[in-house]
Amino acid sequence: MIHSYLDILDRSKTGRSVNKTDWDMDFIVLPVRQLVDTYHLTWDKQNAVPDDPDLIDRLFQAGLELAAASGIYCISTGKVISFSRDELLEGIRLMPQRLQMGEGDDARWLYARKIMDERPPIIWAGNPGAPTPEELFVPCVKSWMQEPIVDLATCGSITHVDGRTVETGSPMEIHAARWELRILRETLQGVGRPGMGLLAGQSAVTELGDLAISHPDYLRPTDAHLVALFNELIIDQINMARALNSVEYGMRNASLATVMVGGLGGDAPGAAVVQIASFILANIVCRTHYHLLHPIHIRHVATSTLSTMWVQSAVEQAFARNAPCIIVADIYPKSGALTRELLYEVAANAIVITVSGGHLEGVGSADGLFPNGTGLEARWMGEVGHAVARQNLSFEEANLIVGNLLPRYEHVFRAKGGNPGVSFDQAYDLTTLTPIPAWLDLYREVKTELRALGLSAL
């Protein structure tokens, strides 16, 4: 029985000793292969949205079985943190169904979405984690905070502050994390949305930065921060410290498990099993308020590949059917600003996520590697998500549209260097903080294309 987070810390010291290589093989690779066979888990490589409720339920049961059998590995201590099935089910029972983010007139309610939910998804805008130069940080975040369709905001991480490099675990991490939050709060004031909720502390790589911003002047109790799991089913004491700190302070914990599609769990069905287990375990070890769904392709990284979108859809459906909770799915395309492919990738990803029961976060353009994201694709993400809900798009219709979009952008996965596009200052007028005409023209052209493909409510 878990009485407090201290019980979990105890298990991280008293559990079974395992080295990392044995963990990967004996607790992930082999059991996932067995579960995929036992539960007859396959996937249709023609469609991004699985339309097989029995398969979805089997995926959930396989994920629950993996969570109970393997537990989670604390890499800092080399110990396995184990939980009973009853403890895992209790964690599922306690998952929030509604969650207020932000304050006052700008507050928004996250909620557990249903499959083909007619309620619009919450739009959480930003390029989470993307390294951002100091001089571009304010115009970047302002470009999406000012969009009326945006409900909540996030940001990239700061690479330099006051001309100094931000080094992980150094005093500069504290300075950068606080600088980030001050700028975010000031920018929200500037766009007239002071109470908007945030997922922030992106510059806080260790617990130093996280502790430095756990104050209402920085990260408010109605804002969120990340408590990450590593590949696969691994946590460290840094992230356990983040979770423990938030227990008393009260800010929202977002679990983040970037499961590798094509990695230790294998192809899409096995990766989905690992992702489901990750969420079930994160309920306890991350003290999760909502889950960030961010599987990535082992070779292409982007969330817009067919197999990665299938995992997002399958996992959202599995929880909507078996354990309703709040899932916010990341959109990380291969392409960057001022490319037509970026808009195709965002549209496909947003359709799959929305119809399957998730909220939308992004856009982490250009794999989140560069400051090549803008407010325009965040607007586009929101418009597509709202249109899917308003039109009450079916799985069949979603697969048809996405099937027509994939050939328009899949070539970027094979392109040397990807398709990074341009940096923010080349896609936006920094004086008016509006998209340059060429970027706006591409957006309008792709909107017309998507309507013709069947998203008539756009």
Rounded (10°) CA dihedral 295, 298, 300, 305: -40
**Is the separation of the CB atoms in 18 and 79 below 8 Å?**
yes
- In angstroms, the CA 122 to CA 382 distance is 8
CA separation for the pair 212, 102 (Å, rounded): 20
Record the tokens describing residue 326, joined without a space.
Answer: 């709040």
Q: In whole angstroms, what is the distance from residue 209 CA to residue 200 CA?
A: 11
pLDDT score recorded for residue 116: 98
User: Residue 41: which residues within 8 A CB-CB, separation 6 or more?
Assistant: 35, 55, 58, 59, 62, 269, 270, 272, 273
Please tell me the distance from the alpha carbon of residue 380 to that of residue 346, in angstroms, as a whole number. Answer: 8
The mean pLDDT value for 1-28 works out to 95
Render pLDDT for 32-77 as a digit per residue (tens, 0 to 9): 999 999 999 999 999 999 999 999 999 999 999 999 999 999 999 9
Percentage of the chain exceeding pLDDT 90 = 96
The candidate with the shortest Cα–Cα distance to 155, out of 146, 169, 145, is 145
First and final C-alpha spacing in the chain? 50
| Over residues 251-267, mean pLDDT | 96
pLDDT tens profile 65-107: 999 999 999 999 999 999 999 999 999 999 999 999 999 999 9
**Nearby residues of 156 by Cβ (< 8 Å), 6 or more positions away:** 126, 127, 128, 129, 130, 131, 132, 137, 140, 202, 368, 371, 373
pLDDT, position 180:
97
> What tokens does 136 get?
């571009």
Residue 1 has pLDDT above 90, yes or no: no
Beta bridge partners of 39: none
pLDDT in tens, 375-414: 999 999 999 999 999 999 999 999 999 999 999 999 999 9
Tens-digit pLDDT profile for residues 166-225: 998 899 999 999 999 999 999 999 999 999 999 999 999 889 999 999 999 999 999 999
Q: How many secondary structure helices (H) and strands (E) does the chain include?
A: 16, 20
DSSP symbol at 147: -
This prediction's pTM: 0.97
* Chain position carrying tokens 């992702």: 275
pLDDT in tens, 136-181: 999 999 999 999 999 999 999 998 998 899 998 899 999 999 999 9
Supply the pLDDT for residue 3: 85
* 176 CB neighbour count, 10 Å cutoff: 29
Say which residue the tokens 């976060």 belong to. Answer: 361
pLDDT at 236: 97
* Average confidence (pLDDT) over 223-242: 96
Compute the distance between CA of residue 306 and CA of residue 318 in angstroms, rounded to an integer: 18
Q: Which two tokens stand for residue 215?
A: 């104050």
pLDDT tens-digit readout, 318-357: 999 999 999 999 999 999 999 999 999 999 999 999 999 9
For residue 248, name the pLDDT band (cuts at 50, 70, 90).
confident
Helix (H) or strand (E) holding 277: helix 268-285
CA distance to 28, 250, 426, per residue, from 275 (Å): 12, 26, 37
What residue has token string 């804002």?
Answer: 223
Angstrom CA distances, 385 to 120, 132, 320, 351, stand at 7, 27, 18, 6
How much of the chain exceeds pLDDT 70, in percent? 100
Residue 14 phi/psi, 5° resolution? -110, -5
* DSSP 8-class letter at 335: B
* Tokens matching residue 199: 């997922």
All domains in the chain, ordered by first residue: 98-453 (3.20.20.460)
User: What radius of gyration do the chain's Cα atoms show?
Assistant: 21
**In this structure, what token pair is assigned to residue 218?**
């920085």
Please, which residues have CB within 8 angstroms of residue 372's CB and are 6 or more apart in sequence? 130, 336, 337, 365, 366, 420, 421, 422, 423, 424, 427
